[in-house]
Structure 1
Amino acid sequence: MTGAHGTKPSPGPDQPPIPVRLVTFNTHHGVGEDTKHDLARLATVLAAADADVICLQEVDRHFGDRSEGVDQALLLSRALDMQLAWGPAIDESRPDGGPDREYGNAVLSRLPILVSDVHRLPGKGEPRSVLRTMIELDGGTLWVMNTHLSTGNPERRGHQVAALAGLHTDSMGAGVLVGDFNANPDAPELAALRGRFADAWELADERDDRSGWRFWQHDEGLTHPAHSPHRRIDQVWVTPGVGVRGARVLDARGASDHLPLRVDLAVPSGV
C-alpha cells in the first residue's frame, strides 16, 4: 500500500521516499474545553486531519463516567475505518466482572499494522507506557512509538526517555517517536533522544501553527493549552533518514485541551 498522500514508488534500487502523513493528539479522553464528552466531535477533528497514521494519548476504554463508559479506541477506529493498536497505561479489573477499566495510548492506521507491543515506563505516580507498532508501507516499513510521559518530575521523565531511546534499535530501520512529553523539546530530561532522533518540527521544510484566527504564532509549534497555547509538549521525533516535508498544528475545534500536530514524513524505501 502507499501513503494516502503520495504515489506508488517505482521499482528499483533508487526508489523515492514513501510519503506518510502522521498526527499526534492528546485527546483528554474526549472531553473538550466545554467540559463535555463528545466523541463524535473528536472523530470529526481526526477525520479532517486526513492522516495515514493517528497517534492518540489519554484514550479511555470502559473507564468510567467521564467518558460515558464507552470503548473510545474501538469506536474511533470504526468511525474512521482505520486499523487499531492499543497500549494501556492503566488496566484495572472490575469486581463485578465487567470490562476492564483501561486508559492509555492508541494508534489508528490506514496502513497495515504488522506488529504491536506495549512497554511499561519507569516511575512512580500515574502509570505510563509506550505503544510500539510497525506499519507496513509500499516498499518499506515504519516503526511508530506512541507515548505520554509523566508530569511534574523531570528526573522521572528522564528515566522514561532513557527507556524509550533503548526501544528503537539500529536494526529496526525507519522510526518515529511521538506523543505528549510534558516537556519542551530542549528540556534536559529529553537529552537521551538527541542523536538517536531529531525533532520533526525543526526539520520540517514547511511549518505552520496558525490553526485559527486567535493564534498569532506561525512558526513555534505550540500545542498546549488549546485555548492559548504557550507550550510545545506534543512532539514528533524521527530517526536519521526520515525526512519531514511539513509540520502543522491543527485546530482542535474545542475537542481537547491540546491541539493536534500533523507531520508529513518522507520515509526511506526498502528499510
Structure 2
Amino acid sequence: MPDITVASYNIHKGIGIDRRRDLTRIAHVIEELQADVVALQEADARFGDRRGLLDLDRLATMGLKRVEVRGLRERSHGWHGNVMLVRRDTEVEGVERLALPGLEPRGAIVADLVVHGVPVRVIGTHLALLGQSRIKQVAMVLDQLAALSDRPTVLMGDTNEWRRGEATLKGFLPHFPQSARAPSFPAPFPILPLDRVMLSHGRIEDFTVHVSALSRRASDHLPVRARLVLPD
C-alpha cells in the first residue's frame, strides 16, 4: 500500500514564544518536517490587507510550492490564514475554499492531489474557539464532502478541541475513523491536543508531535506529522 507524509502547523503568524516574528525560523521548522503535504494555519496577517506572512522563496528552495486558491485578497497567501504546501512534483487536480460558519472568520481548503502517483483529498482547516461554532463547521465540511466523489481524504489542522471523547468533533468520526492526537499546545510544555490528523481510508502510522529546538520557540503550537498508508 502506498504511503505519504503529511503535517499540520499553526505558525501563529510567525510570532514565537519570544514574541519575535521570524519567518526564516518558521521555514526551517517546515523543512524539518520533511512532509509531502503541509497544512498551515495563521499564515496571513489577521487585519488590514491580510498580507501573507510566508517566505515563499525560501520554501521554494526546499522543493515546496503553495497550492493556489482562487478568490484570495491580493496580498494574502491563504484562505482565512489556511495555506497548503506540497512537493513540487505533486499534481493539483482541483481546489475549493470553504467559508465556515461562526462568529469568527474561519475557513478550510479542500484540495484534490496526486502525491507519488496516489490520488488523495486533503483538507486543511482552523476551527473555531467556540464549541457551538465547531459543531456547525464540522457539519459544513461533511456536507461538502458528501457532494464530492469518493476519494481517500485526510483532514488536518488546528481543531481547537482538547477534550476527551472528541466532544465537538464527534460528527467527523463516521467519515474519518482514523484520528490521531497528542499534546501540541503550548509549544514549550504541551498539554492540549489541539492539532489533529484524521483519515477516511487507510491507516495513520508514525503520528508524532514534532519537537525540536526551533519548533519549541518558533510558534505557540508544535507541528504534528504523520505517515498515511493509503489503499491502492
* Shift of residue 138, structure 1, vs aligned partner: 4.0
Residue identity in the other structure for 1:23: A
In the TM superposition, 1:58-77 aligns within 5 A as 58-60=42-44, 71-72=53-54, 74-75=56-57, 77=59
Consecutive unaligned residues in structure 2, runs of 5 or more: none
2:98 counterpart of 1:135: no
State the one-letter code of the partner of 1:244.
I
What's the offset of the Cα at 1:187?
3.4
Contact map agreement 1:247 1:263 (CA 8 A) in 2: yes
Query: Relative to structure 1, is the Cα distance of residues 87 and 101 closer, same or farther in structure 2, using a 3 angstrom cutoff?
Result: closer
Q: Is 2:62 aligned against 1:80?
A: yes
The corresponding residue for 1:255 is 218
1:106 aligns with 2:83: yes
Secondary structure of residue in 2 paired with 1:146: strand
Give 1:249's aligned amino acid. V
Cα distance between partner residues in 2 of 1:86 and 1:121: 19
Q: Output the CA distance in 2 between the equivalents of 1:50 and 1:100.
A: 25
Select which of 169, 172, 175 maps to 1:193.
Answer: 172
Q: Secondary structure at the match of 2:149?
A: helix
The structure with the larger Rg is 1
Contact 1:56–1:179, Cα closer than 8 Å, also in 2: yes
Q: Is the 8 A contact 2:138 2:169 kept in 1?
A: yes
Distance 1:192 1:76, change over 3 A: farther
| Structure 2 CA distance for partners of 1:62 and 1:236, relative to 1, 3 Å | closer
SS at match of 1:118: strand
| Aligned pairs (5 A) from 1:46-65 | 46-60=30-44
May I ask how many residue pairs the two structures share in their alignment? 224
How far did residue 164 of structure 1 move?
Answer: 1.3
Q: Is the 8 A contact 1:118 1:129 kept in 2?
A: yes
Shift in alpha-carbon separation, 1:47–1:148, aligned structure 2, 3 A = same
Q: Is the 8 A contact 1:181 1:235 kept in 2?
A: yes
2:230 aligned residue: 267
Distance 1:70 1:117, change over 3 A: closer
How many angstroms does 1:71 deviate by?
4.5
The alpha carbon displacement at 1:157 in A equals: 0.8
CA shift at 1:61, angstroms? Answer: 6.2
- Secondary structure (helix, strand or coil) at the match of 1:223 reads coil
The Cα shift of 1:31 comes to 0.8
Aligned equivalents of 1:233, 1:87: Cα separation in 2: 25
One-letter code aligned to 2:15: V
Q: State the one-letter code of the partner of 1:192.
A: G
CA distance in 2, matches of 1:64, 1:259: 27
- The equivalent residue for 2:155 is 177
CA distance in 1, matches of 2:57, 2:105: 24
Relative to structure 1, the CA distance from residue 64 to residue 38 in structure 2 (aligned partners, 3 Å threshold; closer, same or farther) is farther
Residue type of the partner of 1:33? Answer: I
Question: Is 2:189 aligned against 1:228?
Answer: yes
Partner AA of 2:175 in structure 1: R
Q: Whole-Å Cα distance in 2 between the matches of residues 80 and 168 of structure 1? A: 32
Q: Deviations over 1:26-71 (max 9, x none)?
A: 0101111111111111111111111111110110169679x9x654
CA shift digits 1:62-109 (9 cap, x unpaired): 9679x9x654163454243212125699x668xxxxx46974101110
Q: Would you say the 8 A contact 1:47–1:80 is kept in 2?
A: yes
Residue of structure 2 in register with 1:145 after alignment? 123
Residue 214 of structure 1 is matched in structure 2 by: none
Counterpart residue number, 2:205: 245
Question: 5+ unaligned residues in a row in structure 1: which ranges?
Answer: 1-16, 94-98, 202-219
Q: Does 2:164 align with 1:164?
A: no
Give the equivalent residue in structure 1 for 2:98.
Answer: 119
Shift of 1:223: 0.3
